[in-house]
Amino acid sequence: MLALIIGLIVAIVAAYIGLAYWLSDVVAVLKGSIPLMFFCGGILAVIAGITSIKDEIEAKKLEEEQKKEQK
């Protein structure tokens, strides 16, 4: 437990020092990477939507086949 606390303190201090010296670089990286993340997230959402639509169509087909078999 003590090692965890010491590790967290070291990480917080290192992050504070790093941000103090390289804040402009961090902001530049974020400005460049956030649009790319949004683009990839949009593609993932489209793929998930297409998969959901395909699953619904397949479920309807199976339901219709089951109704035909019951008759």
CA distances from 63 to 20, 60, 67 (A): 61, 5, 6
pTM flag (> 0.75): no
Q: Is residue 45 a contact partner of residue 53, using CB atoms and an 8 Å limit?
A: no
CA distances from 17 to 3, 10, 11, 21 (A): 21, 11, 10, 6
Asked if pLDDT for residue 68 goes beyond 90, the answer is no
Q: pLDDT per residue over 37-59, tens digit each?
A: 999 999 999 999 999 999 999 99
Task: Give me the DSSP letters along 1-27.
Answer: -HHHHHHHHHHHHHHHHHHHHHHHHHH
For the chain, domain boundaries: 23-71
